[in-house]
Structure 1
Amino acid sequence: MNGSFAALAVNFIGFQLLWFVAVYGAARGWGAAALLVLLAMQAGVWALNRGWRRDAPLLAVGALACLLCEPLWMAPQLIRYVDWPAGWLAPAWIWALWLGFAVSFNYCLAWLRRRLMLAAVFGALGGVFSVTVGIRLGAADTPHGWWALALVYGVVWAAVVPGLAWLARRLEEERRDYA
């Protein structure tokens, strides 16, 4: 197995595990363990491809996206995370999900980089599906009902996913141009 395929596999499997540990863990009071999964996933990928410089911008953008987007549904209480009193600042497990998702555009989600319309559909449907499963598992609840959250989530994620895909493509093109 070559290094780039192995890194892709580690990212894919790592992100699935990250999502499970974050969401299922949050519902059971151990969601912060998602940060450890994120660290292990990135350590595994970097051990295979030494691409930390390549991933750092997407990790930073993932953090910025979390900081900007989470208040859109947290502040008006469209969603409330279990055992989390902050009105607008997301818990650690949500941060881990944002960072892990963003960096996946260098690996298992790289196929979306040139398919921005598909990325928008994927974002809208995938975002609503993911949050719905998280709510059903008990990681969060919706004080104002599911429909209000689903509408906001769908619209935001329909913009976030193609934005991340486009950014990952641009960063890769710049790396090739300056290599």
Structure 2
Amino acid sequence: MSRFSIINLVFFQAAWFLAAWYTDAAAAFLLLLLCCHFVLSPTKRIDLKVLYGAVLGITTDQVLISTSVFGTDSSLIPIWLILLWGCFAVSLNHSLAWLQQLSLTKVAIIGAFAGPSSYFAALKLEALTTTLNQGHFLILLALVWAALLPALVSISKHSTMNEQHVKVTP
């Protein structure tokens, strides 16, 4: 793992915990972490392209909020969650880049477990709420993340491959 991948891992973990513990109050810190990522990143252009994945995640979470799968203090996705999606998206090129080496089936399985566990932890820390029982909540998010993570990894992989192609082409 490269030195920057370790930095990215620390940035993303800090972003997640700040978002889960402080929600709205964490927004400025999340923005600062995202800006620091781009200042330090050796692949700024690729990371910008991968932010398209954040749009997919933000849209997915907004649908889940709108359909009352989970809730926040507002009916619109909060800024802290938008910024957390940005932090997650850029981690797909660095600390989570290993996912690009796996089959999409394996990525879907990882997504089905890792995605819901993150949201479940956010529920326990009271960053999110839900009216669903735990089982239904986890099953629904497992289905969502079994599709979402492979899509996000594909976006990241495509962005990386396109950038490498651009560098090789005279």
1:1-179 matched pairs, under 5 angstroms: 5-26=2-23, 31-33=24-26, 35-67=27-59, 69-81=60-72, 84-86=73-75, 89-115=76-102, 116-179=104-167
C-alpha displacement of 1:11: 0.9
Question: Closer, same or farther in 2 for the Cα pair 1:139/1:48, shift >3 Å?
Answer: closer
Please, which runs of 5 or more residues in structure 2 have no aligned partner? none
Q: Does the aligned pair in 2 maintain the 1:17–1:37 contact within 8 Å?
A: no
CA RMSD of aligned residues (A): 1.9
CA distance in 2, matches of 1:48, 1:97: 18
Q: Does the aligned pair in 2 maintain the 1:10–1:41 contact within 8 Å?
A: no
Q: Does the aligned pair in 2 maintain the 1:79–1:140 contact within 8 Å?
A: yes
CA distance in 1, matches of 2:42, 2:96: 19
Specify the SS of the correspondent of 1:140: coil
CA distance in 2, matches of 1:154, 1:141: 17
The normalised TM-score by structure 2 is 0.87
Specify the SS of the correspondent of 1:143: coil
CA distance in 2, matches of 1:170, 1:46: 19
Question: Closer, same or farther in 2 for the Cα pair 1:129/1:120, shift >3 Å?
Answer: same
Amino acid in the other structure paired with 2:63: L
Question: Closer, same or farther in 2 for the Cα pair 1:49/1:127, shift >3 Å?
Answer: closer
Q: Does the aligned pair in 2 maintain the 1:119–1:158 contact within 8 Å?
A: yes
C-alpha displacement of 1:123: 1.0
Q: Does the aligned pair in 2 maintain the 1:62–1:101 contact within 8 Å?
A: yes
Please, which runs of 5 or more residues in structure 1 have no aligned partner? none
Question: Closer, same or farther in 2 for the Cα pair 1:154/1:52, shift >3 Å?
Answer: same
Q: Does the aligned pair in 1 maintain the 2:31–2:83 contact within 8 Å?
A: no
Amino acid in the other structure paired with 2:153: A
Specify the SS of the correspondent of 1:113: helix
